Copies of this chain bind each other. A is one copy, B any other.
Amino acid sequence: MEEIPARLSAKPTWLITQLSVHAHRLATEAFAEAGAHGYHYRILTALDEFGVASQADLGRRCNMDRSDVVAAINEMAAQGYVERTPDPADRRRNLVSLTETGQQQQQRLEQSLQRAQDELLAPLTAAERKTLTHLLHEVLTHQRSQR
C-alpha cells in the first residue's frame, strides 16, 4: 500500500528525524495534558535538579536560546510555577527559583513524560532500551563536543 523507500528507511538520519516526530508528538501530548510545553519541562527540571539559576544558565543547561528562556519564564511565572528576582550580587542577572507548585508541576510532567516514553519504546526490552540510550548518548555527546 504505502511502502517507504528502502533508501530512506535504512538511513539513521531518516530514522532519527522520523522517530523524533513521534517522540515529539508523544511528549507534546503528554505535556499538553498538564498545560505545559517542552520548554517548560526542561526549565522546571533544571531548576529542580540544580536549584536557583540565572536565565542565561538555564539557557545553557537546557540548550535553549536566551530569548526563548524569557518567554518560558514569563509564562511559568504567570502560572506561579517560578519566581524571578534580581540578583543582588550581579544586577544584570535574574535569579529564577522554583515554587512549591512549580515542583509539583515538574513531578506531574515527569510522570506524563514517563508514560510517553514507555509508549515510544514499547517494542524494546529493557536491555535494548539501555543499549539504545547508550548509543544515542554517545553520538550526542560527540556531536556536542564538535561545536
A7 touches B45 (CB 8 A): yes
Whether a CB of chain B sits under 8 angstroms from the CB of A113 is yes
- Residues of B close to A122: CB separation below 8 A: 142
Measured CB to CB, the residues of A under 8 A from B are: 1-13, 15-20, 22-24, 26-27, 38, 42, 45-46, 48-50, 57, 60-63, 110, 113, 116-117, 120-124, 128-129, 131-133, 135-140, 142-143
Per assembly, the copies of the chain total: 2
Instruction: Specify the chain B residue showing the minimal Cβ separation from A30.
Output: B13
A143 touches B131 (CB 8 A): no
B22 touches A61 (CB 8 A): no
- Residues of B close to A135: CB separation below 8 A: 124, 128, 131-132, 135
CB distance from A134 to the nearest CB of B (A): 9
Choice from B131, B138, B143 contacting A22 with Cβ under 8 Å: B143
- Residues of B close to A140: CB separation below 8 A: 9, 15, 18-19, 22
